[in-house]
Structure 1
């Protein structure tokens, strides 16, 4: 499969490394960060054999799906780097809509409504299609002695196939009826990233990114359960705070700001 940058990304000076097969695009991205890259660099592969998601979960990407990582040098600090996950979610939603326009059709998800279309962003790092996981994002940070901090934004999308026997429902663009390829989606993604990254503006535009993300968020106003270690917090998903943390009105009536955890909405959130 031949990958290429979109015209907007190419003009903006982004780099591209395309591989037939890699263990992990994020691992490769961290190596480039260690080498001290001076411009944003995309690393993409037709097949990923040893990828990982949050909390070290395996993320295998068979041929036909998209596995890509973007190395972003010059990040001011680690908390700001986490905000790039929201940038990635917005860019993904925009790119998927561009290459698979039927994804814009209205639907009602499990216990909540998607905001006018079938795609929705799930805090902190997933894109949902009809309530099932379509894509995931993983942001990792590398500190270089001379070049400073670089973020590696890993993105995996189920284009041709979705994993089976998972603890959560998953789906693919092919199941939607889309005939787009991983290369089609990557080209659109590389361009849409440029626009949302400009809004992010080194973190200064985080309030605008937060607002845009909330407009496309899944589960606002619905029951939510967040598992963090052995602790489970239940309540209503109200909003994101200024730092991008989940704001939950708990069953006990207090408000909790959640920085990390495994999130369940709808029916799954009410199960004990």
Structure 2
């Protein structure tokens, strides 16, 4: 385990960041959830596994875990004055985006609602939030070295785009970006985070498709975000609806 004090440019001291690395585990999120339940997962703690045998993505999907990619989880305390815990998905997405951008300054990148990061229109990371009492466990997987084959989905890796970084080195940058984004979320508020997110996402007017609870496809135009981060979709008949859960595809 190693730790380092990091400070942001505005002079606000961050918590000490501790990274613990294990060679293999079933799921870093499951491990950090267990630590959280015991009260032994402080903010600033990150668990990284060189390999995962039972990684899970959103909606219980299997998360492929080849050697060389980043599999990690951290934890955030839920404080009374904080924005809604679910909005940490935007914080995590922003942090991953900024970390990747520091290694790949020129490649086309896009944030996709609710928490995808795309490089050249291909998925490069997965983010999973799970609440444990008064904490949120944030799991992040990033294709650093390998882009695993995923049916019906374009997948990217940092290495294929030319980034010369390994998983441990990438996490060093990501953990600092994450602390910075959490600080912004707490101090400037969710509206500020959502504005920053929107500036890096698919533009208003982009054609998107999503599914309702019954699996019925809904197509329309992206019309920005609600104050709570819900996606506003303008249907072809002009009506505006808010999507609070689910996936979208960009047409």
Using the size of structure 2 for normalisation, the TM-score is: 0.90
1:71 deviation in Å? 1.3
Are the aligned partners of 1:47 and 1:63 in contact in 2 as well (CA < 8 Å)? yes
Are the aligned partners of 1:224 and 1:234 in contact in 2 as well (CA < 8 Å)? yes
One of 80, 97, 100 as aligned partner of 1:96: 100
Are the aligned partners of 2:41 and 2:75 in contact in 1 as well (CA < 8 Å)? no
One of 146, 157, 168 as aligned partner of 1:161: 146
Larger relative contact order (C-alpha < 8 A, sep ≥ 6)? 1
Considering fraction of residues, name the structure with more helix.
Answer: 1
| Matched residue count | 244
Distance 1:5 1:166, change over 3 A: farther
Distance 1:28 1:235, change over 3 A: same
One of 112, 131, 144 as aligned partner of 2:121: 131
1:39 aligns with 2:45: no
Who is 2:191 aligned against?
A: 207
Q: Distance in 2 between matches of 1:251 and 1:70?
A: 41
User: Residue deviations 1:13-49, cap 9 Å, x none?
Assistant: 2333211111111111111111123621211111111
Using the size of structure 1 for normalisation, the TM-score is: 0.83
1:256 deviation in Å? 0.4
Summarize the alignment of residues 150-189 of structure 1 with structure 2, pairs less than 5 Å apart. 150-189=135-174
List alignment gaps of at least 5 residues for structure 1: 106-117, 144-148, 267-272
Query: Once structures 1 and 2 are overlaid, which stretch shifts more, 80-89 or 69-78?
Result: 69-78
Q: Distance in 2 between matches of 1:16 and 1:256?
A: 41
Summarize the alignment of residues 95-114 of structure 1 with structure 2, pairs less than 5 Å apart. 95-101=99-105, 104-105=106-107
1:11 deviation in Å? 5.8
1:228 aligns with 2:212: yes
